Structures are given as structure tokens and as C-alpha cells.
A and B are shown apart, each in its own frame.
Chain A
């Protein structure tokens, strides 16, 4: 079941919570670089250190972000579900994945090609700003959460 499925329409793209309200022109430019994929549970969507070329919007399922270090067991640090996004290393040089992303359930995602998304953000600064205003709070929340996880809040 891993792989592309029915193409996404512009209406569906616009309907995703993360992209909702961005200009029709911006989304129309993204559409040819966007596809929907389905993955079985246990599928590694991205691997730490690999080139990061895609942005993922989860429609259905559950995805775990894992830290992988040689000689240590995989450590899941965050799970994400429908409506959530992952993968922004396409925006940040050197454009390499910093975590593994693995499906915990059968999942359906919308995948946007990173280079095309970068170009669109550059070409449409207003949409680019809106896009980042949505992405940065997510990054901030996850950074806050990571701080508390490092703080080990439930430690005796």
C-alpha cells in the first residue's frame, strides 16, 4: 500500500488546516508538486541524515518522530496525527532529515516538494509570511515540549 494514491485536488489542498486561507495563486503553483501517499503501519517515511526534499501534511493515521543514535535503541520523541505536519528541513540548510519518521498506523499524507515550496514562498512573500506564521508556532510548541521532556517533568 506504500506509495502515491488518488491525486489531490486544489480544493482538498486548500481545505487542509495548515494551508487553508493561502492564496489560490500560491496553492495553484504548489499543486503540480503535490501528491497524496499512503503508507502501511511501520513504514519509514524519512530517515535521519537523508536529503530532506518534502513537506508532509498528515490526513489520516499516526507518525512517530524518532531519534536514532548508533548503539542506542530508537527513541520516539513525538507522535503526530491528522491535521499535523512534519518535515521542514527542506527549508533549513543543509536540507537533511534530523529524525526518522515512521508510521505507527496506516497513514495517508499530502506531500509537497520542498524545492517547489521554497520557490513559491520566495515568489509570493505574503503567502510566504502566512505560511511561516503557521509553521513557526508549531516549531515553538515542539521546542517548548522538547524542553520539558529534557526537564523530565515527571521525574521523582
Chain B
């Protein structure tokens, strides 16, 4: 297990030596409150340091001194160099500390790690993206990458589900995406009051309506496992082969490089082999209780 370095208070950043497990100091450049318990942090490296490039779907290990280290997917634009963006929901000690980090706060980060979304598999096909809850965060870089290369694939159907309207991430961006004419973004929530005029129901209930050619489409799913499993089953029911579906899985990650085994999922170490895996390879595992 790796340990976070002592980075406390307004001290000069310590240059990274660049080892795969060694965190580098980052400063919170900007912070956006997404929902009641979730924030997005823009992290800038120490002066003179570079931010490693990342692929959509990869994650970093972020740490706050004395509060622990946690794996957080990168939610920023892969085409935007010089910064990392992470969307953090305040749940435990480390994520609460991260979510409470104001601009100027020094934190530590190492990465990027893992296998991301196979973006190139989308070229020439229809694309279906289904995200639930904070699962939109690892999907956002994928979306931004796809939209940057909009001419290279067919129809784009995005279905995003959240608990309530107050739990929707990236509200201004979501509104802009929904206004696009070259893609369809459906947003649905599990429950809502009378002031909500959008859809209510599970993401799977929006799928019968999704426009794609099952013979030539790919699907990228991210959210709670039960949601992804039901979504994959529904997509298969519409004729999309299992081979065309990818899921992003989550287990407690610690080392990030496949050494410690904390994130084992059947034969896979999700930090190294995932978090994005072909549904074909994990469909059976997702049905094993307690795995």
C-alpha cells in the first residue's frame, strides 16, 4: 500500500521524481460545487511540472495529508493539457477532505492509471452511452473526446440517470449538450417533485426509445453495477451483441498498478486491467453474488 506524503499547509511544492507510485504535488486551481455533496476540482501541477496526458476512463490516486488516498476518475477534457479535473463526492475521510479543498489548497496526485474507454471502437458506428449517478464523471472525458471527433461516428445516444434533479452533475454543460442537434441526451431521475418537467424512471426505461443500429453500435456504461447489468441486458435484448458493450467497474483501489490486489474482481485487477472492461468478459462475474 502506498502512503501519502506529508504535504501540509502553504509549503513549497516538492518536485516529483516521477516514479509510478510517487505522488506529485498539485494545487487546486478551481472548485465547482456540482451538487450538495459533490464538487469538481481543477488541479494544476507545481510550476515547471507537466501534467501527464490521460485517456478517457482512466483514474488518479488523490490524497490529502492525514486523510488518506483515494482513486478518483478523471472527469476533465483529455484535449485540454496542463490540468486534471476530478469530480469528487464527499463520502469518507479522504473524499470529504478533497471535496472541501478550496482553490489554493495543496494536494497530492499520482497517475493516470488503468485502461480507459476504447474510443477507437466507436469510429464508424452508432454510440450509446448510459451513465448513472456520479458515473457521469468517468464518462465526461469520453463524451468530450467523441464530440471533438463528431464526424467519425454515427448516431450518439446518451442516457443519464440520477437520484433526483438536485443530484444531476454538470448542470450547465448538460443543458448545452441537450441542446445539440447532432446527439441525443436523455436525462432521467428516480424521483422528482412537481417542479421537474423532465423524465422520471430508470435509465433502462429510456432505452427502448434509443436510436441506434444494433448491428453496428457500441455501448459504454458507467454507474452502479446493478444499473449497468440491467442496461447491458436491455441492450442485448435490443440486439446489440455483448461484444459491443463496455462497462466501467469499481473496487477499492490502493496501489493503482496491480500490485496490492485490493481491487481484484475475479481474474482481473481493476486498477490495472480496468476500470473499463469488455462486458463480454465480465458479464458472468457480475452475476456472482458477493464478488
Contacts and interface: CB of A to CB of B under 8 A. Distances in A.
Contacts of A128: none
A148 interface: yes
A153 B226 contact: yes
B191 A81 contact: no
Contacts of A144: 230
B150 interface: no
A28 interface: no
B112 interface: no
A148 B191 contact: no
A133 interface: no
A154 B201 contact: no
A6 interface: no
Contacts of A75: 191-193
A132 interface: no
Contacts of B188: 79
B193 A153 contact: no
Contact of B196 (A76, A154, A155): A76
A154 B204 contact: no
A154 B133 contact: yes
A156 B37 contact: yes
Indicate the member of A78, A149, A154 with the most B CB atoms within 10 Å. A154
Interface in B136-175: 161-163, 167
Interface string A24-47: 000000000000000000000000
B207 to A, nearest CB: 11
A76 B162 contact: no
Contact of A76 (B91, B194, B227): B194
A19 interface: no
Contact of A145 (B91, B132, B198, B201): B201
B199 A154 contact: no
Given A141-B205, A154-B167, A156-B37, A149 B191 contact: yes
A91 interface: no
Interface in B107-154: 132-133
B89 A73 contact: no
B219 interface: no
A156 B91 contact: yes
Interface string B224-241: 101100100000000000
A73 B202 contact: no
B6 interface: no
A62 B132 CA distance: 22
A74 B163 CA distance: 16
A79 B199 contact: yes
Contacts of A141: 204-205
Interface in A98-131: 104-105
A152 interface: yes
Interface of B: 37, 89, 91, 132-133, 161-163, 167, 188, 190-194, 196-202, 204-205, 209, 223-224, 226-227, 230
10 contacts: A74-B193, A75-B192, A76-B191, A77-B201, A145-B202, A153-B226, A154-B190, A155-B163, A156-B89, A156-B91
A-B CB proximity, top 5 nearest: A154-B133, A154-B163, A145-B202, A79-B200, A76-B200
